[in-house]
Amino acid sequence: MKNPKFSIIIPTKDRHHFVSYSLKSLLNQTCNDFECILINNSERESETKNVFDELIGDDPRFKYFRPKKRLSMDKNWEYGLEKTKGDYISVLIDKVMLLPGCLSMAQRSINEHSDCEILSWWSEAYDFVEEDDSHSGFYKPTGDFNLPQVCNSEKELLRKLNFLYHRSREGRFYFRGKVCFGLYKREMVNKIKKNIGSLFSGISPDYASLIAGLVCSKKIFDIGAVGCISLNSALSNGRRAQNSESEQIKFLQKFDPNLDFLNNLPIKDKFRSTHNVVAFDYKEILKKYGKPFDFSNGYLELWTSEDVNDKNLSMKLRFLKIRNRLEKMLSKEFARKIIKKISIMANGFFLNQKELQDEKKHREFCLKKHKCNSPLEALEIAHNHYSSLRSSPYNLK
């Protein structure tokens, strides 16, 4: 029996009410050439197992595993990876749903760009009306309308390491290269494991694997389309830790019970900052590859201070210096972009009539407030909209 094209790992812990949506989104895929590996890392097995059994039945594409003991997040993800057999690997966070045509879109992209080691799609959001209601909410489409592009991994690596943007303001760049919003080629994953022992490591394995992937790849294919919807909830590790020092300490102790690693944070004492913790993971991965990086360019410190609401005067002065430097750089970059746009138009490569019509239609779609009775309704709305855009990579026709 041949191996499946795609291996989708769903690591989960005590979020059975969310993981049901992730599983349903896979059951509704228009592409059947995949396997799903669900890893239940909870102390209590019954709730998640009951959801799995009820939804999946005897579907051979889906496999359920529960480690003998509770694992740290990175070890749990790696445990799931060891169970996979597919040519391409993705991690589906247990509060993320794939659009029905996501894997079909990925299949077509791979056929055209098989030399790219990483495939990326974008995510949109679904906000629950109430935290204790895991059904009704608002679907928030993204305003971006971009065409597919092949990206240079080295340039994307520098973009990440320089922290030019706050994580919440990265736009489509936030998703590019992450295994949670795309696919990693098996050959690249094997190369990473051979070089540094594992794909997933660190406090935030999604960020650590991002850097490992960018170091080990040459090209990323950004599909230029939405592939999933994320369910926004206060139950996420990041949100809880950001809002509470005690929650952050509990979260970090799962990685290092004695918290000895705090001495090696790029910005000392700012352990509540997600940016600072992410930078620590970046630093550790680069160290394994013998590629040290200087994070003291100012941007990391700026976002770290914003994370922990540190408003000291020296930081404000530092920000002004950075902003002035950035404005000068951007003015040059803006001029380059204008020249590039003019040259593209002169060569006749501007948006054609079909693409212009799609852009207008999408812009109008994004202005609407989409109230839904459940996340699955949001999936249906998104699927119908993107299928109707004739120039969209998601279009199934």
Domain contains 163: yes
Joined together, the tokens standing for residue 389 give 């855009």
Residue where a domain stops, chosen among 310, 337, 361: 310
Does residue 171 lie in a domain region? yes
- Same domain as 294, residue 148: no
Q: Which residue type does 389 have?
A: L
Is 98 inside any structural domain? Answer: yes
- Boundaries of domain holding 283: 237-310
Please answer whether residues 126 and 137 qualify as being in contact, where contact means their C-beta atoms are separated by less than 8 angstroms.
yes
Return the number of other C-beta atoms located less than 10 Å from residue 361's C-beta. 15
- Tens of pLDDT, residue by residue over 209-251, are 999 999 999 999 999 899 999 998 755 555 555 566 777 777 7
pLDDT of residue 345: 45
Same domain, 265 and 382: no
Q: Has residue 364 been placed in a domain?
A: no
Asked if residue 59 and residue 138 are part of one domain, the reply reads yes
In a domain, 336, yes or no: no
228 and 261 within one domain: no
Q: Quick one: 104 and 62 in the same domain?
A: yes
Same domain assignment for residues 114 and 250? no
What's the pLDDT tens digit per position in 291-323? 888 887 668 888 888 887 766 644 554 565 566
Looking at the structure, do residues 301 and 218 belong to the same domain, yes or no?
no
In whole angstroms, give the CA distance from residue 85 to residue 394: 26
Which tokens sit at 186?
A: 């098996």
Residue in 206, 159, 204 with CA at minimum distance from that of residue 180: 206
| 241 and 161 part of one domain | no
Domain end call among 310, 338, 355: 310
Task: Point out the domain boundary residue: 295, 310, 325.
Answer: 310
The pairing of strands 149-152 and 62-65 is unpaired
pLDDT in tens, 76-130: 999 999 999 999 999 999 999 999 999 999 999 999 999 999 999 999 999 988 7
Same domain, 268 and 200: no
Of the chain, the end-to-end C-alpha distance in Å amounts to: 30
Q: Is residue 322 a part of any domain in this protein?
A: no
pLDDT tier at 347 (50, 70, 90 boundaries)?
very low
Matching residue, tokens 């996501």: 102
How many Å apart are CA 249 and CA 243, to the nearest integer?
12
Q: Do 189 and 227 have their domain in common?
A: yes
Cβ-Cβ contacts under 8 Å for 82 (sequence gap 6 or more): none
Instruction: Give the whole-angstrom CA distance, residue 376 versus residue 106.
Output: 21
> Same structural domain for residues 379 and 290?
no
Query: Which residues are 219's β-sheet partners?
Result: 152
Strand partners, 8: 36, 90
Domain count, the chain: 2
Q: What is the pLDDT of residue 344?
A: 42
List the CATH number of the domain containing 94. 3.90.550.10
339 falls within a domain: no
Q: Are residues 241 and 160 in the same domain?
A: no
Coil/strand/helix, residue 90: strand
Separation of alpha carbons 258 and 67, rounded Å: 24
Give the span between the Cα atoms of 262 and 201, in whole angstroms.
Answer: 17
Q: Does a structural domain hold residue 245? A: yes
Are 193 and 75 in contact, with CB atoms under 8 Å apart?
no
For residue 63, give Cα distances in angstroms to 23, 34, 37, 239: 11, 11, 5, 30
Which of 167, 206, 211 minimizes the C-alpha distance to 73?
206
